[in-house]
Amino acid sequence: MSKIPAFGLGTFRLQGQVVIDSVRNGLELGYRAIDTAQIYGNEAEIGEAVAASGVRRDELFLTTKIWVDNYAADKLVPSLEQSLARLRTDYADLTLIHWPAPGNGVPLETFMTALAQAKEKGLTRQIGISNFNIALTRQAIAAVGKDAIATNQIELSPYLQNRELVAFLQREGIHVTSYMTLAYGKVLGDAVIGAIAQRHQATPAQVVLAWALQLGYAVIPSSTKRENLASNLLAQDLRLSDDDMAQIAALERNGREVSPDGLAPQWD
User: What residues are labeled active site?
Assistant: 40
> In the chain, which ranges are E strands?
9-10, 33-35, 61-66, 92-97, 124-130, 149-155, 175-179, 218-219
Q: What share of the chain is helix, strand, coil (3-state, %, to 5)?
A: 50, 15, 35
98 a known binding residue? Answer: yes
Sheet holding 218-219, edge to edge: 9-10, 33-35, 61-66, 92-97, 124-130, 149-155, 175-179, 218-219
- The residue type at 88: R
Are 252 and 161 a contacting pair, CB within 8 Å?
Answer: yes
User: In sequence order, what DSSP letters do the residues of 74-86 get, joined into one string?
Assistant: TTHHHHHHHHHHH
Q: Which residues contact 127 (CB under 8 A, 6 or more apart)?
A: 94, 95, 96, 115, 116, 118, 119, 144, 148, 149, 150
Give the annotated binding-site residues for substrate.
Answer: 98
